[in-house]
Chain A
């Protein structure tokens, strides 16, 4: 093995300019970077339409495919939320809406948004597009498997969508799919619906594992010369850590899906206790429903951070670029991301305070939950200090970032309420919880996605999205989202339970009626406002202003490719060599207010750049 590697390396050392650097005056040369360790990647170039655009092995195309598929499912999720709000705000207005339909819509909305929309969009979409570009690789390390990963996801989405059309409809057991009710008669979609959901989830996990391995190993083993881990943009750190979480958390989901499928199909009793139904004892018996909850949340809590960490990373980069200032406390940010990721495996049962688990667990999980707030708060401080005295450009991207900080802080603070057992018990299963998690992992990551779309669209399409439309899009979404979720906290305080189809004549309704109508109206408007973005994209693709190279004057490698948009192989003949972190903005003494990562130290000898 070693001989082989040596051979490869000596061949490499002789190729390109590395040899000169290596044998030349090494000590005096400030621009010296170690020679390449591994040979340049051997890429498969597609020639036909099918291999170029359908079964494509280029991570950028796969990223766009992931993005479009995820957005499609997201729109389905959005329409479902409209239908739910229609029922909650104006009960009985939609004639076809039964309680069964309502539960099915709740379930599908939740599952689609968390797994098939946000996870796929951040890791599959942004991860595929940005990781190879930002680390300076030609592609993912194993492009073929990466391609399979997307098509697995596609099949998973197809299976999920198919469940709308089977007899009984999709499952209506809530997105957590708790047994025993999820697979028992009486719950909508307890036949084919739940089965297709479990199959779809299993396919998603298998497909995602293939992609996730690629993301991890590309970051760890395929960085370009000079790119150390501590010179990676925080976007890559966020996506990387989220992928680590996914690789270790999805197994629990896979296992619980398999076990529940067996419970459903074979009649095993992993999760099924002895059940009396209409006076008759069912065949099931001896299983443990709480085991499912543990498995589910062992996946479910890291899943929250799988969605949040990429958002943290991306927003750090966007804030830094558009405030023309280096990110405050880069290393602290990295360690906070890693720390949150590690801790997220030790907090899962704070979702289960009222489940009837071992009562001592409350103490353990409340403690770990509150500890995880520390690195999270550090990140918020760092974003704010990055903005402080920055040269802030109030463009659409920056607006989305600011919106993210506000909504995230809001959601984070309510999280501290819910993390404490004694406060959580009266609040659990009320609209307070709904408000909390929509704020923290719905709206906040969505704000980042929007900001990222406005930021990177010029790279993908070569044209800048319309700023005027973008600002309309932002303000309607931001104010509208606040109108939706802020009153929900109040609904929670007065005790309105979540997942109820209708309040009937309960005493809640007197004060909640008007508020529910208001929330519903806001939800319709916010949902509709998202089509501004779609219109904006179509319009820009046709008549938009060409972006040119590096329109935001950013430093990271994705803006410094040989062509815009980057072609297959990303960087032309020669891979870039990295000399610095991506945050050298407004450096005193520099000619321009940004220094790209590829600029060698000798060119900026008289500036006060950070040592990275």
Chain B
């Protein structure tokens, strides 16, 4: 990555190569995440692989296609920190979803005894 960056600094815009690389990488990653379904992995392995490929793809799109890798930290940080609120929301809703399921099973199926 460092080398790429140094090269880029010498020209006014980024070389076409980097875009083609990322483009190709996105296809490969999409193919891999499709394979997760194809080979019918289940359980924790499936979920972690899906998340891994998802975040990798999202990171590549943001970093290179949306140029975030070359942007200054002021912008990058402004964009990424608010995601902590989303992370908190997700974490709490996971707990809430489980609790709702518990109450439903407990009161509707078990009978609340």
Contacts and interface: CB of A to CB of B under 8 A. Distances in A.
A/B touching: CB–CB < 8 A: yes
A290 interface: yes
A346 B88 contact: yes
A345 B88 contact: yes
Interface string A351-362: 000001111110
B13 interface: yes
Nearest to A216: B78
Chain B at the A interface: mostly helix, strand, loop or mixed? helix
Nearest to A360: B95
A153 B1 CA distance: 47
Contacts of A358: 95-96, 98-99
Nearest to A361: B92
A294 B99 CA distance: 14
A345 B85 contact: yes
A359 B85 CA distance: 21
A2 B9 CA distance: 11
Interface string A285-318: 0001011001000100000000000000000000
A3 interface: yes
Contacts of B58: none
B111 interface: no
B96 A357 contact: yes
A23 B62 CA distance: 41
A1 B14 CA distance: 11
Contacts of A3: 12
* Size category, A interface: 10 to 19
Given A248-B85, A294-B93, A298-B89, A2 B12 contact: yes
B68 to A, nearest CB: 15
Contacts of B13: 1
A345 B99 CA distance: 22
A298 B93 CA distance: 12
A361 B94 CA distance: 12
A293 to B, nearest CB: 10
A260 B99 CA distance: 23
B99 A357 contact: yes
Contacts of A346: 85, 88
B17 interface: no
Nearest to B93: A294
Contacts of A2: 12
Nearest to B98: A358
Contacts of B88: 345-346
A346 B84 CA distance: 10
Interface string B79-113: 00010010011001101101110010000000000
Contacts of B96: 290-291, 294, 357-358, 361
A610 B92 CA distance: 46
Interface of B: 12-13, 82, 85, 88-89, 92-93, 95-96, 98-100, 103
Given A1-B12, A294-B89, 7 more contacts: A1-B13, A291-B96, A294-B92, A298-B89, A345-B88, A359-B99, A361-B95
